[in-house]
């Protein structure tokens, strides 16, 4: 019996090029979902209470908090001059990009990631172990959405 090797067995090259492309809405990847920990980190960064941050910057859909969206502008509201203006406090969903479990397959990687992210194939070679650690962090984070 052969064990199927993941397409990233030999690692994947990725280095953020600062394009800001991942910070604009891409259909199903449109929402920036937030755990309580994400909202607390944001609030601390902005020097306001978590309740105030949630009131001002968040919406809830199906019990899950996400950053508010402007229907006329697909960009994240924290994207300023193509840069994340809250980079140090960015949510886990943003930190773990592009190693999300749902795009770690050859088809999604090619069509949904490499097609709009200029960092794919550049710079640091991430090992299989590093990729899986980040993907696991993203999955663990996603399991806490709505808290």
For ligand SF4, the closer CB: 12 or 23: 23
The single residue among 12, 23, 113, 135 that binds ligand SF4, judged by CB under 6 A, is 23
User: In the complex, what is the shortest distance from the CB of residue 42 to ligand SF4, in angstroms, rounded to a whole number?
Assistant: 8
List the one residue out of 1, 3, 60 whose CA is nearest residue 33. 60
Structural contact between residues 23 and 79, judged by C-beta atoms closer than 8 angstroms: yes
Neighbour-count burial of 32, counting CB atoms closer than 10 A to its CB (0-12 exposed, 13-18 middle, 19+ buried): buried
Piece of 47-55, 79-87, 116-124, 131-139 that binds ligand SF4 (CB under 6 A): 79-87
Tokens of 141: 């984070």
Distance CA 101, CA 136 (A): 8
Q: What are the beta bridge partners of residue 84? A: 79
Piece of 9-17, 46-54, 83-91, 99-107 that binds ligand SF4 (CB under 6 A): 83-91
User: In the complex, what is the shortest distance from the CB of residue 11 to ligand SF4, in angstroms, rounded to a whole number?
Assistant: 23
Contacts to ligand SF4 by CB under 6 A: 23, 32, 76, 78-79, 84, 86, 90-91, 94
């Amino acid at each position: 019996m052969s064990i199927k090797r993941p397409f990233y067995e030999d690692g994947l090259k990725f280095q953020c090029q600062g394009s800001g492309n991942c910070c604009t809405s891409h259909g199903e990847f449109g929402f920036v979902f937030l755990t309580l920990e994400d909202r607390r980190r944001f609030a601390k960064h902005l020097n306001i209470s978590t309740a105030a941050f949630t009131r001002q910057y968040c919406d809830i859909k199906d019990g899950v908090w996400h950053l508010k969206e402007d229907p006329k502008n697909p960009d994240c509201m924290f994207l300023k001059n193509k840069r994340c203006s809250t980079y140090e406090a960015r949510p886990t969903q943003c930190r773990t990009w592009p190693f999300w479990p749902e795009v770690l397959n050859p088809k999604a990687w090619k069509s949904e990631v490499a097609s709009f992210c200029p960092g794919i194939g550049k710079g640091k070679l991430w090992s299989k172990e590093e990729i899986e650690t980040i993907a696991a962090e993203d999955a663990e984070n996603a399991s806490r959405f709505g808290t």
